[in-house]
């Protein structure tokens, strides 16, 4: 993996994590680093799911892939928030 792809994954992870965090209502008790990690994981899983369904490469913006990634990030942020709230 090249450094540019690692930096790209981090940037996409930041965007996806923040958007996923915005979707979840209320205040979340997770930090910025966990939001970025959730975003990176959601971006990778969302890309794999979109590729499995054949919607990863479309003409124009890949809206379905973005929707999947943001939904996964929202689920991840909500799950981590609930896990931290129980402690």
Residue range 9-36, pLDDT digits in tens: 788 888 999 999 999 988 888 888 888 8
**pLDDT score, position 73:** 93
Residues 6+ apart with CB under 8 A from 46: 16, 65, 66, 68, 69, 70, 71, 72
DSSP state of 54: T
Helix, strand or coil, per DSSP, at residue 36: helix
What are the domain boundaries of the chain? Answer: 28-87
Measured torsion, CA atoms of residues 70, 72, 75, 76, in degrees rounded to the nearest 10: -100
As a whole number, mean pLDDT of residues 37-62 equals 85
**pLDDT score, position 2:** 64
The model carries a pTM of 0.85
Q: Is residue 15 a contact partner of residue 36, using CB atoms and an 8 Å limit?
A: no
Q: Is residue 70 a contact partner of residue 16, using CB atoms and an 8 Å limit?
A: yes
């Amino acid at each position: 993996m090249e450094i540019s792809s690692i930096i790209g994954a981090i940037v996409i992870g930041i965007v996806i994590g923040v958007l996923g965090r915005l979707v979840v209502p209320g205040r979340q008790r997770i930090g910025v680093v966990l939001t970025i990690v959730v975003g990176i994981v959601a971006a990778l899983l969302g890309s794999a799911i979109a590729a499995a369904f054949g919607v990863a490469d479309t003409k124009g913006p890949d809206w379905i892939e973005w929707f999947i990634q943001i939904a996964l990030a929202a689920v991840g942020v909500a799950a981590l928030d609930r896990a931290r709230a129980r402690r």
